[in-house]
Structure 1
Amino acid sequence: MLETQSLDAGIVELRMARPPVNALNPDLLAAIAEGLDKAVADGAQGIVFSGAPGMFSAGLDVPYLLTLERPALESAWQAFFTVCSKLAFSPVPVAAAITGHSPAGGAVMSLFCDYRVMAEGSFRIGLNEVQVGLVVPDPIQAALRRLVGDYRAERLLVAGAMLESVEALRVGLVDELATPEQVVQTAARFLASHLSLPRSAMLRTREMARADLREAIGKPGSVDLSPFMEAWFEDETQQVLGALVARLKSKK
């Protein structure tokens, strides 16, 4: 579910590999969390976090989540926020190589990375949770505001907007565009530029600069999911999610 490849200059690529769309279920989320820890333990100086060509991640595996009772569902969502927290608290820089479409949970994970390189073209990224009946939790809203500003974040969140790559770059949701074939290499170049700096000064300054992001998400397991869980089980939310799953099944 997660493939690891060593790149140059102590940089490791962690590539999600759960076909067809890298939907985030507990197994994949656990693999990502473990992969981040292992990369650091094995001495990685920087991490490229990538997906499949054309699809970074379609977000949480909603059809699977709808089958779960509340305790298992809450555990699954905590696993997702654990990944976000580990990205925010990573002791080494992490660059997201957004290799294609990145709705919802895919976009969310990228918010907690140091840098975002997206494949140019008709690929879309955004936090479309409202469109599928979900409330966007506070830590995610804070992470988006940090990138694009308060008012822009409000407009994107309330509309559940999905942006093509050029527009995502314009508003600051991603930092750079590259051809689909060069997304990983471009993310690695960003990391290499940081790693060429005096290491202690770079890492300590990075830690200070990202303190607000770490405060927003908190350490793994610390996110209060109660408001989100209550909203998940509301009739309207269940109806919208059920209709979404029905559409997905019809496409298959």
Structure 2
Amino acid sequence: MIEVDVVDGVAVVRLAHGKVNALDLELCRAIEQTMRELDDPEGPARAVVLTGTGRVFSAGVDLKRVVDGGAPYVAEFLPALGGAFRSVFDLGKPVVAAVNGHAIAGGCVLAAACDRRIMASGTGRIGVPELRVGVPFPAPALEIMRFALGPVRARQVIFDGANHEPDAALALGLVDELTDPDALVDEAVAVAGRTATDIPADTFRYTKAQLRQEVNERLDRVAEPTTVELWTRAATDGRIRAFLDRTVGSRGQ
């Protein structure tokens, strides 16, 4: 489900869950557990690279599980999803996303939660089409996108709901750099390692917490009954199923 290799003191965390690294309850919990463990200041990793497998970073939430599980699954899943996002966002060491391919919806948010995003040039797409699916953003996802892009660009990207090619993603600020697919992980490891070397660990951790303080204070206060209600409604009224039929179904999958 998750593979971790330490390369020159940098933990390369690779999502390896099914064909598209869809975010389900189990993967979200595994992401949070892995990131919380890597956050240990005394641990062997001084920085982290988050990547996927094959041509996919993560295709986002496993919507079929949401439809099949209905209200009980939604009530359990959304907190786990938020926990996964926040565990990446809050990790007190340099975290670099090596976006190896498609990073859609929750996959895009996972990348946005990292300190730097490097994307492979080629055919991958990245974006946040949640509103087109018919579901609202959970608060952690909304806050992370706003933090990563700024309020104006985040609003543009969220309401547009499009998935973007690498060059367009770079122009929008969804990623910070493009590189050859074969060099992606090596480049991400080099950037993460260089950051960890150039900035003392305690200074980096403290400054990162300062930058995120207002976001985390808002998230610690928020309750999301309406978010749960709307996701549950979307799971049962056919809108998510219709989205799946338009997208996955149209590709014969």
TM-score, length-scaled by structure 2:
0.89
Cα distance between partner residues in 1 of 2:139 and 2:18: 30
Matches of 2:117 and 2:198, distance apart in 1? 20
Runs (5+) with no aligned partner, structure 2:
none
Deviation at 1:216, TM superposition (A): 4.8
How many residues matched?
248
Q: Post-superposition shift, 1:43?
A: 2.8
Give the Cα–Cα distance (whole angstroms) in 2 for the partners of residues 7 and 147 of structure 1: 27
Root mean square deviation, CA, Å: 2.1
Q: CA deviation at 1:209?
A: 2.4
The aligned runs of 1:17-166 (5 Å cut-off) are 17-41=16-40, 42-166=43-167
- Name the residue aligned to 1:3: 3
User: Which residue of structure 2 aligns with residue 210 of structure 1?
Assistant: 212
Give the secondary structure class of the aligned counterpart of 1:19.
Answer: coil
Deviation at 1:97, TM superposition (A): 1.0
Q: Which moved more, 1:73-82 or 1:180-189?
A: 180-189
Please say if 1:230 is aligned against 2:229: yes
Q: Is this contact kept in 1: 2:23–2:60, CA < 8 A?
A: yes
Change (3 A) 1:191 1:43: same
Deviation at 1:197, TM superposition (A): 1.9
Q: Which moved more, 1:233-242 or 1:86-95?
A: 233-242
Q: Distance in 2 between matches of 1:143 and 1:30?
A: 19
Higher deviation after alignment, 129-138 or 79-88: 129-138
* Whole-Å separation in 2 of the counterparts to 1:62 and 1:87: 22
1:201 aligns with 2:200: no
Partners of 1:125 and 1:165 within 8 A in 2: yes
Residues 6 and 12, structure 1, Cα contact 8 Å, conserved in 2: yes
What letter is aligned with 1:152? R
Q: Does the aligned pair in 2 maintain the 1:97–1:118 contact within 8 Å?
A: yes
Tell me if the contact between 2:82 and 2:141 (Cα under 8 Å) persists in the aligned partners: no
Residues 133, 237 of structure 1: 8 Å contact kept? no
State the distance in 1 between where 2:71 and 2:195 align: 43
Residues 1:212 and 1:114: Cα distance change in structure 2 (over 3 Å):
farther
More divergent stretch after superposition (102-111 vs 231-240):
231-240
Deviation of 1:3 (Å):
0.7
| 1:136–1:157 Cα contact (<8 Å) kept | no
Q: Structure 1 unaligned runs (5+)?
A: none
- Mapped to 1, the partners of 2:159 and 2:199 lie a distance apart of 42
Task: Tell me, in whole angstroms, the C-alpha distance in 1 between the residues paired with 2:171 and 2:14.
Answer: 26
1: CA distance, partners of 2:95 / 2:215: 14
> Is the CA contact 1:53–1:180 (under 8 Å) kept in the aligned structure 2?
no
- Per the TM alignment, residue 54 of structure 1 is displaced from its structure 2 partner at its CA by 1.1
C-alpha displacement at 1:13, in angstroms? 0.7
Question: For residue 14 of structure 1, what is the aligned residue in structure 2?
Answer: 13
What displacement does 1:167 show? Answer: 0.9
CA distance in 1: counterparts of 2:96 and 2:217, whole angstroms: 20
Moved more, 108-117 or 222-231: 222-231
Q: 1:204 corresponds to which letter in structure 2?
A: Y
